[in-house]
Structure 1
């Protein structure tokens, strides 16, 4: 079987390294590649995937919402958040799933077991944010706050959350137990911070869904202030493990997946 991850940019992705290591560990003959598909060429996605002969693929920035019109079926989780990161191709049908939220929450619970009572702020309102928010709502009692640069991004959200602009949440950061960055700030040599951390409480866990670089600017700034930090490595591995289960109906070797990514980094 043949798999890939599509996105733009895609050069930073360690999905091929991780999945190919897992295939070898479990004795599969599958292959996994990275395909850069620029947004202006996305209308040709069906032809591109068919040409590659893929049995399934992962979807990353900026295509998690763009892929929706091309799917034949979509699972409940992905439909709720309006974003897809995993596609299974079965009998010429494209079936969309979202494993981002499951992967992230699994990783967050390892470092913050008392999720139930946490006051959480999520930065960004894209596809990954929706997936994570939708999954966190199942575990967290206080209403989650999601902040974005433009509030119009929430027009099509159907999740029960508090919404705010990034500027408005900066003075009230001390109210939150966990702050999660899902914006692209910090990727690809982008050194900007999504928000300033002047009012950050010393106990607040600062998390970023990015794993390359290992410490994004917001994590480095939080660590410098003495705060606990959490990056996107384990989310990345868990969501990849869930994708593998969807494609093959088999259990992955999670330890090999994680250690391979960690060694590479």
Structure 2
């Protein structure tokens, strides 16, 4: 079977490395490549994929929404997210899925344990936040709080959450067991505008969906204040594993996939 990831730029994608590690561990003679498709060439996506006779492909920035008009069918979650990161090709038909949210949540469960009673705060209301929240709602009995600078961003959300302005997060931060940052602000040192760590529960878990670097300034700040931290590496690994399952109906070797990425990052 043959697979790929499409995006622009795509040269530095670790997806081929990760998927080949999984294929090797499972003794599968499968292929996976990275295909660079600039926005100006995207109208030829059907021809590009057909020429390679792929069985499925992943979609990354900036094409996750752009791919949707070219699909024959789309999962409910991907439709809700307005974004697709996995396409399965079956009998010539393209079916779109989004595995980013479930990828993060499965990884989080493997690290944290049951999320049933966890009180969770998510920072940011972009596509990643929406996917993660969608999946978390199926895992916890507690209301999920999502904070964003611009409240109008929630107008496209069709499922219930407690939306709060980012400016009010400090006042409610001590309520939560898990805080998940999905904003790019975590990449910068001035994190006081996101969260005041002194206000958190003593045993709160602080997360960031970014995995390069493995420790963002946001997580480093949290660790400095004594909190347990969790990065986005497992989100990347588990979303890839979910894609593999969609394409093949087989379970991926998570350890092989994670190890290949960690080795590449020289950890």
Report the TM-score when normalising by structure 2. Answer: 0.87
* Runs of 5+ consecutive residues of structure 2 not aligned to the other structure: none
- CA distance in structure 1 between the partners assigned to 2:10 and 2:162 by the alignment: 32
Give the C-alpha shift of residue 150 in structure 1.
2.1
Contact in 2 for aligned 1:83/1:130 (Cα 8 Å): no
Which shows bigger deviation, 250-259 or 14-23? 250-259
- CA distance in structure 1 between the partners assigned to 2:251 and 2:61 by the alignment: 26
Say if 1:62 and 1:179 are closer, same or farther in 2 by CA, change over 3 A. Answer: farther
Give the equivalent residue in structure 2 for 1:182: 182
- CA distance in structure 1 between the partners assigned to 2:152 and 2:36 by the alignment: 29
Give the equivalent residue in structure 1 for 2:29: 29
- CA distance in structure 2 between the partners assigned to 1:93 and 1:163 by the alignment: 38
- CA distance in structure 1 between the partners assigned to 2:199 and 2:66 by the alignment: 35
| Secondary structure, aligned partner of 2:155 | helix
Give the equivalent residue in structure 2 for 1:205: 205
- Structure 1 segment 56-205 matched on structure 2, within 5 A: 56-186=56-186, 193=191, 195-201=194-200, 202-205=202-205
* Runs of 5+ consecutive residues of structure 1 not aligned to the other structure: none
Runs of 4+ deviating beyond 6 Å: none
Which shows bigger deviation, 124-133 or 214-223? 124-133
Say if 1:220 and 1:132 are closer, same or farther in 2 by CA, change over 3 A. Answer: same
- CA distance in structure 2 between the partners assigned to 1:40 and 1:166 by the alignment: 36
Give the C-alpha shift of residue 162 in structure 1.
1.1
Which shows bigger deviation, 137-146 or 112-121? 112-121
Give the equivalent residue in structure 2 for 1:226: 226
| Secondary structure, aligned partner of 1:115 | coil
Contact in 2 for aligned 1:172/1:199 (Cα 8 Å): no
- CA distance in structure 1 between the partners assigned to 2:204 and 2:161 by the alignment: 20
Contact in 1 for aligned 2:59/2:84 (Cα 8 Å): yes
Give the equivalent residue in structure 2 for 1:15: 15
Give the C-alpha shift of residue 12 in structure 1.
4.4
Say if 1:136 and 1:27 are closer, same or farther in 2 by CA, change over 3 A. Answer: same
Give the C-alpha shift of residue 229 in structure 1.
0.3
Give the C-alpha shift of residue 103 in structure 1.
1.9
Say if 1:38 and 1:153 are closer, same or farther in 2 by CA, change over 3 A. Answer: farther
Give the C-alpha shift of residue 40 in structure 1.
5.4
Say if 1:204 and 1:237 are closer, same or farther in 2 by CA, change over 3 A. Answer: same
